[in-house]
Structure 1
Amino acid sequence: MFSILLLTTTTSQLVPVGGDDIGGVDMKKCLDKERDALLLFKAPLQDPDGRLSSWTAEEHDCCKWSGITCNNQTGHVTELDMGFYGLGGEISHSLLNLTYLNHLHLSGNSFNGTIPTFIGSMTELRYLDLSFNSLYGTIPPEFGNLTNLQDLDLDSVGRCRVENIEWLSHLSHLEWLRMDGISLAKQNHWVDVILSLPKLTHLSLGGCELSQVVYPYSSSFLNSSSSSSSSIEFLHLGNNSLTSSMYRWLFPLTSNNLRTLDLLGNRLDGIPRYLGNLCSLESLDFSYNSAAVKFPDFLNNLSGCTSLSLQKLGLSGNQLNGSISEKLWELPRLQTLYLSSNNLTVPSTYHLSNISYVEYLYLRSCKLLGPRFPKWIQTLKNLIDLDLSNTGISDTIPLGFWDMWPSQLKYLDLSSNNISGKLPDLLSNFAHGSTIDLSSNSFCGPIPNVPSTLFSLNLSRNKFSGGISFICQIVDGLLEFLDLSHNSFIGQLPDCLWHFNQLKVLNLGHNNLFGSLPPSIGSLIQLKVLYLYKNNFSGELPFSLKNCTSLISLNLGANKFSGNVPVWIGENLSKLYVLILRSNKFFGTIPLQLCQLPNLQVLDLSMNNLHGTIPSCLSNLTNMVQQGGFSQDVEYFRNVTDNLFAFEIYADHATIEWQGHECEISSTLKLVKSIDLSSNKLTGQIPYQITNLHDLVSLSLSNNNLFGEIPQKIGKMEKLLTLDLSRNNFSGGIPPDMSQMSLLNYLDLSYNNLSGRIPSSTQLQSFPPSRYSGNARLCGPPLTKKCPGDEESEATSVIGKSEGDGEDTDDELELWGWFYIGGGMGFATGFWIACGALLLNRQGRRAFFQFYDSFKDWVYVKVVVFVSSFQKSR
């Protein structure tokens, strides 16, 4: 009988595929006890992709199930390989019945709960991978019982910590250990434990909150045979809080076995000379530290035998200064060089003889002396990746540049320079799946032929013209990112999008494109961002667009689209967090289906011809109700080398009306939760339910035909920075609750029929009178019109001042102080968000509110000084 044989690396057993025996020997089927255990394991799990569909009671032989490997002689389950199956739920203790299991791979799922303690009883395990899940709590010390383990991967397992790392010292067979993202903040003797593992070759402790180590070592875990040297070949200690004092304990972890050393993202100010004597070191990543030294001095510390073996050197994001000397290019095996974002200058000429090894060169934000295009680049015959972005080039590209690397370049970034001229034919220059970024330059003219296998193309913010039919040449289905925005392209969007089924970002904004959207736009099933802002597109939105169910940002503003706002936006595009249809020709009512978008945080339907009432169900937009929600940045990566990935973020952005000005918000978009229905023909009252949107920061309903009273509980919307109800027919008084809106820095209630006294608060009196004009029956500050009874109150105030010898009371001083504090905080908060000047990292909201608190303290001090000076001057 014909069989295909597969050799598995962990069990060393021949496993048949497509047959029942090998050489006439019957294959054992799985045991009933173990099949039942697997069914119990499956029962509570979520399996949205149906990866466990073969796990059924009807199929008695579990050895045929997906992800299962059995011993072909005994029938026992030996491997459970379910990496990246998309599963969710808790890990069932039924796995204990798989008593011969030696390989457990559950990486890349959504398993939750604590890490099961019972795994420590599965003593046959040689391979355990729980990485990239959603677990939490303490790593069970029972893992110390897994004395046969050779590979333990807990990388990004969840929010976990180690209370006592001593259990790790019992795993004497361990060769691979990855614990990235697990807190080791309390483990000051972890170096001792690592040195007690004689076979360990790969160690990764990135982002483990490491800061210091007790020195000298405690020796409680060490023995004479293991403490003298280390067998580690790969050492990753990046993204911790390590300082240069670490080098005294790093020394015993390094030896001439070491091939890779990753120290990026710490607080190191240089490297010791002993790192220059690691004769096997091939890769050193020192990026994003705080080294403020001269580049030649840094290089001198690597001048021993390390200089002969080094293939990759990462120094991006430091404070290295000086010039990049020719000595750098003399490293005989150098292939990859990261020098981006330093204070380095690069000579325009080098006298180079042989630097053919260099394949990956990144000089972003270094200063190229010139400003001519560096000709020496063309001596790098083996280049695959080249980054010269933001290097001060002001020139045209030399004619021979595009012919240097035929079908070889994988990544080219020349963005943020002042490069001019036209592009040549690019068909023969780039490799399969390449990335081209020429954005923010002065290129002009039409786009000629482009490669058919592009992964990413960014030509934004140039002076390109002509049509965009060239995109139809990109036919291999690899394209994930296309940005042609801020150019002078004209014509229609061609109907050739059928093969862009991997596209995630399509940005054609700020051009002169026109016509209807083609039906093939519905084939962009992976699309996350569609940005067509400020063109001349017209017609109704194609029904096929409802197939783009991955969309999280849809910006079609400032065009000439017409028809009703489609109901399928709310029914099909459930992941949307940005919906901008402003400044078009949409008519009809606001569809209730938009209330079905729980992630929505920016809704802009302004400047259309919409009529009817404001849907009360807008209170169902839960992301505007709940605190802490934020936008999902669009993530994509590019392949840099066979074993190295650089991760990039496309920060989504939106052009919105903010406090009377058009602003393009990008880095702070995650903080903006906004509804803009202004400049339509809406009627009726503001539904009281809208006051439940507690996390809303901007609400604009101006220039409509709304009437009735302002909701009395509008003061509950304490996060509002902007409230514009101007040019409607609102009546009644301004709700007293509005005095609670301490963050409000833009308010416009002008041209309504409001009446009565403006409530007293730190904010409401800080706005200019024009924000209340056109309301004939409003009175009180900041208006000059006095309310009934103000004359009597004013006389009493004068008498009181006379009795107090003209001095302000303590209460008045406090009122002045808090008045300016409230106004200042509101202004600053709105200013930073509106202008996008607050640069946010991954802890965006934390950084924002830290700024807010510090600004509040600063303003208070300034106000006290101001009021004191004011009193003295009187």
Structure 2
Amino acid sequence: MSAFSFSHFSSFHLRILFVVLLFHSCLSNQNSDDALCIKEERQALLEFKHRLIDEGNRLSSWVDEKNDCCKWAGIVCDNMTGHVHHIHLRALNGILTSRVPISIPPQLGNISQLHTLCLGSFQDDEWGESTSVVNMEWLSNLRLLHHLDMSNVDLSKLQWTQIAMDWFEVINTLPCLAELHLRNSYLFDAHPHIPALNITSLTLLDLSRNQFTNSLVPQWIFSITSLFTLELSGCDFNGLIPSSSGHSFRNLTSLKWLHVSWNTFMNSSLVLNELSSGIGSNLLLLDISHCDILSTALDSLHNLTSLLSLDLSWNQLTNIIPKSLVFLNANHLVCYLTHIQILDLSNNKLMGDIPKCFNKFKVLSGKETISDDQFYIPTSGKAVIGSDSLVMKGHEYIYNTNLKLVRLLDLSSNNLVGHIPSELTTLIKLQSLNLSGNHLTGRIPEKIGALKELESFDLSLNNLSGELPISLSSLNLLSSFNVSYNNLTGKIPSSTQLQSLNESCFVGNELCGDPLSEPCSRVEAPDTNHEEDDGSHGVDWGLIISIVSGLIVGFWVIVAPPIVSRLWRIAYFSFLSELGYIVYDFTHKMFSR
């Protein structure tokens, strides 16, 4: 009986406890939804707003001191504690500028739970007036900071203020930092001789477009083995520190995305060989444009078996395919960048014919697809898609969220000769094809219409001849097309895309029809059947030679022998007589039955 009472008592109390816990949970959720941000943090945010000129009214919600700052634009708080975790202003639309000079209030350092701080790219034009900062010491209080973006924020005043901590010193006090953006931040000192950085969790580093007074690549960059993305474009580094044999690309074993354009230190066989031998097979994106790279140096680049995007534009290349980009297999030249989907070799000095091995590109030919994961960069505990700047449709675009969808081949502004190989028409997934500014001859391949996904197609400034293929009318996605300044003739094929283009896309030829003001006469109208058209031009000498040869052979084999030889005559007529008897005997037997 006592055991039963105890069991009943325990069951009753468990039920009461469950109801209390459920009530407390609901109350906590309600409180968390209604939780206001911390007063000191709200004051810091309002002080920061006061120092800005909000032309786009982006911070209109930052108004009331009694308001919940967790509901302000660009602010994200912890649901339970109310602490501000994310300040993300560059995600807003509009324009923010600073009241010059500006010192970001040190009260921001009181937001100790901050994980993300994006103060960069306030204005759309990064070359316009930038926000300035004269003190960064308050940043050292944000020990939990994972993501810091101060791109386009002028940090140059830090380097002229003796009492202020240097940008490098401040960054070195943030142990949890995983993503650092200092693009175009007016930095001068890259601290090239410091061997290592205290941060071990950094996956993304962007120091691009800073005019460093030191021309040597900093040693400490090569100590960050966790780096997944490295952006050094436009830093004008021209060499490595000679004593830094242990500090090279070989150490960056996690690196997948590498942007080093506008840096002449890449024009080195030693650097390219270390890059290839160490991490070549891991790289997914490589941008080494504007680096003055010679073909002799590029021959050291190899092992790029996983590469999805390669930009070699604006260099000094002369070989259409350097030894590093091909291999010999069964006496056939095969491009080994089989996974490539973005290849830019424009504005070099490439000579010779366009190689036929481009049909080996598995992604561009539709034989293989690339998973979305390969275009994402893991940072700050999440995945962020990679970005790149590409030239399509005659304009430069920055591709962020849709880089994985871009498929481009650019061989423009070189010295290429010969015909356009038909193998290019097998790249059915290609979106942009640019062969302009070369010395190509011959006709445009008739099967060009097989490139159904083509959006941009440029063949201008060549020596192409003949008529425009009728299959061009089947390119329903074509929005940019240029064949100006060639030797093309005939009528422009009829299609919604071609007739909607500007006349300038066709000038410098002998073309007629819409959208040109020059109409086509009946004589000039091309026949849609190119095989019949080709047979109607001039004399068919092949047919004439065949007929004459047949007559000559027949005369000397059948007619001439009986005339010149008595034995041939006897044999010939004996054969005919015998053949006549055989035919008579056969027919007589058939009809006598």
How many Å apart are 1:257 and its aligned residue?
4.1
Q: Say if 1:603 and 1:364 are closer, same or farther in 2 by CA, change over 3 A.
A: farther
TM-score, structure 1 length as denominator? 0.45
Give the match for residue 522 of structure 2.
Answer: 789
Give the match for residue 711 of structure 1.
Answer: 445
How many Å apart are 1:613 and its aligned residue?
2.2
Gaps of 5+ in 1: 1-225, 234-253, 259-277, 285-301, 316-322, 330-341, 353-360, 369-376, 639-646, 794-874
Q: Which whole-Å deviations, capped at 9, do the CAs of 1:591-645 have from their partners, x for residues lacking one?
A: 453832233111111111222222211111111122864653333243xxxxxxx
Give the match for residue 408 of structure 2.
Answer: 674
Q: Which whole-Å deviations, capped at 9, do the CAs of 1:274-320 have from their partners, x for residues lacking one?
A: xxxx3046975xxxxxxxxxxxxxxxxx2xxxx3xx5xx699xxxxx
Give the match for residue 340 of structure 2.
Answer: 600
Cα separation, 1, equivalents of 2:41 and 2:237:
52
Cα separation, 2, equivalents of 1:544 and 1:791:
60
Alpha-carbon contact 2:75-2:87 (below 8 Å) kept: no
Give the match for residue 857 of structure 1.
Answer: none
Q: Which entry has the higher C-alpha Rg, 1 or 2?
A: 2
Give the match for residue 151 of structure 2.
Answer: 439
Query: Pick from 601, 607, 617: which aligns with 2:357?
Result: 617
Cα separation, 1, equivalents of 2:63 and 2:517:
67
Secondary structure of 2:236's counterpart equals strand
Alpha-carbon contact 2:196-2:223 (below 8 Å) kept: no
Report the RMSD for the aligned CA atoms in angstroms.
4.2
Secondary structure of 1:667's counterpart equals coil
Give the match for residue 314 of structure 2.
Answer: 583
Q: Which whole-Å deviations, capped at 9, do the CAs of 1:784-834 have from their partners, x for residues lacking one?
A: 4444426999xxxxxxxxxxxxxxxxxxxxxxxxxxxxxxxxxxxxxxxxx
Secondary structure of 2:359's counterpart equals helix
Q: Say if 1:255 and 1:481 are closer, same or farther in 2 by CA, change over 3 A.
A: farther
Give the match for residue 411 of structure 1.
Answer: 115
Does residue 563 (structure 1) correspond to residue 305 (structure 2)? The answer is no
Q: Which whole-Å deviations, capped at 9, do the CAs of 1:310-332 have from their partners, x for residues lacking one?
A: 5xx699xxxxxxx9797999xxx
Alpha-carbon contact 2:513-2:520 (below 8 Å) kept: yes
Give the match for residue 490 of structure 2.
Answer: 756
Give the match for residue 279 of structure 1.
Answer: 24
Give the match for residue 365 of structure 1.
Answer: 73
Give the match for residue 689 of structure 1.
Answer: 423
Cα separation, 2, equivalents of 1:363 and 1:760:
56
Give the match for residue 501 of structure 2.
Answer: 767
Cα separation, 1, equivalents of 2:449 and 2:249:
43
Alpha-carbon contact 2:204-2:379 (below 8 Å) kept: no
Alpha-carbon contact 2:490-2:525 (below 8 Å) kept: no
Larger helix proportion of the pair:
2
Secondary structure of 2:295's counterpart equals strand
Q: Say if 1:457 and 1:282 are closer, same or farther in 2 by CA, change over 3 A.
A: farther
Kindly provide the amino acid, as one letter, of the partner of residue 513 in structure 2: G
Alpha-carbon contact 2:388-2:403 (below 8 Å) kept: yes
Alpha-carbon contact 1:589-1:610 (below 8 Å) kept: yes
Give the match for residue 492 of structure 1.
Answer: 216
Kindly provide the amino acid, as one letter, of the partner of residue 294 in structure 2: S
Alpha-carbon contact 1:565-1:586 (below 8 Å) kept: no
Does residue 778 (structure 1) correspond to residue 511 (structure 2)? The answer is yes
Cα separation, 2, equivalents of 1:719 and 1:538:
35
Cα separation, 2, equivalents of 1:587 and 1:544:
23
Kindly provide the amino acid, as one letter, of the partner of residue 451 in structure 1: N
Alpha-carbon contact 2:267-2:297 (below 8 Å) kept: no
Cα separation, 2, equivalents of 1:619 and 1:792:
34
**Which stretch shows the higher mean deviation, 596-605 or 444-453?**
444-453
Does residue 480 (structure 1) correspond to residue 203 (structure 2)? The answer is yes
Does residue 513 (structure 1) correspond to residue 236 (structure 2)? The answer is yes
Secondary structure of 2:237's counterpart equals strand
Alpha-carbon contact 1:423-1:448 (below 8 Å) kept: no
Give the match for residue 104 of structure 2.
Answer: 397
Query: Pick from 634, 646, 649: which aligns with 2:376?
Result: 634
TM-score, structure 2 length as denominator? 0.65
**Which stretch shows the higher mean deviation, 747-756 or 688-697?**
747-756
In the TM superposition, 1:229-240 aligns within 5 A as: none
Cα separation, 2, equivalents of 1:674 and 1:542:
24
Kindly provide the amino acid, as one letter, of the partner of residue 267 in structure 2: G
Q: Say if 1:722 and 1:400 are closer, same or farther in 2 by CA, change over 3 A.
A: closer
Larger strand proportion of the pair:
1
In the TM superposition, 1:84-233 aligns within 5 A as: none
Cα separation, 1, equivalents of 2:113 and 2:524:
81
Give the match for residue 451 of structure 1.
Answer: 172
Cα separation, 2, equivalents of 1:539 and 1:692:
34
Alpha-carbon contact 2:151-2:185 (below 8 Å) kept: no
Secondary structure of 1:714's counterpart equals helix
Kindly provide the amino acid, as one letter, of the partner of residue 292 in structure 2: K
Q: Say if 1:755 and 1:255 are closer, same or farther in 2 by CA, change over 3 A.
A: farther
Secondary structure of 1:689's counterpart equals helix
Give the match for residue 165 of structure 1.
Answer: none
Cα separation, 2, equivalents of 1:708 and 1:596:
28
How many Å apart are 1:748 and its aligned residue?
0.8
How many Å apart are 1:441 and its aligned residue?
3.6
Cα separation, 2, equivalents of 1:429 and 1:385:
14
Q: Say if 1:283 and 1:588 are closer, same or farther in 2 by CA, change over 3 A.
A: farther
Secondary structure of 2:250's counterpart equals helix
Q: Say if 1:589 and 1:565 are closer, same or farther in 2 by CA, change over 3 A.
A: farther
Query: Pick from 50, 55, 61: which aligns with 1:345?
Result: 61
Q: Say if 1:602 and 1:423 are closer, same or farther in 2 by CA, change over 3 A.
A: farther
Does residue 726 (structure 1) correspond to residue 449 (structure 2)? The answer is no
How many Å apart are 1:586 and its aligned residue?
2.6
Cα separation, 1, equivalents of 2:191 and 2:445:
52
**Which stretch shows the higher mean deviation, 660-669 or 516-525?**
516-525
Cα separation, 1, equivalents of 2:66 and 2:103:
20
Q: Say if 1:517 and 1:772 are closer, same or farther in 2 by CA, change over 3 A.
A: farther
Kindly provide the amino acid, as one letter, of the partner of residue 514 in structure 1: F
How many Å apart are 1:419 and its aligned residue?
4.9
Cα separation, 1, equivalents of 2:37 and 2:113:
24
Give the match for residue 275 of structure 2.
Answer: 545
Alpha-carbon contact 2:119-2:151 (below 8 Å) kept: yes
Q: Say if 1:656 and 1:365 are closer, same or farther in 2 by CA, change over 3 A.
A: same
Alpha-carbon contact 1:625-1:693 (below 8 Å) kept: yes
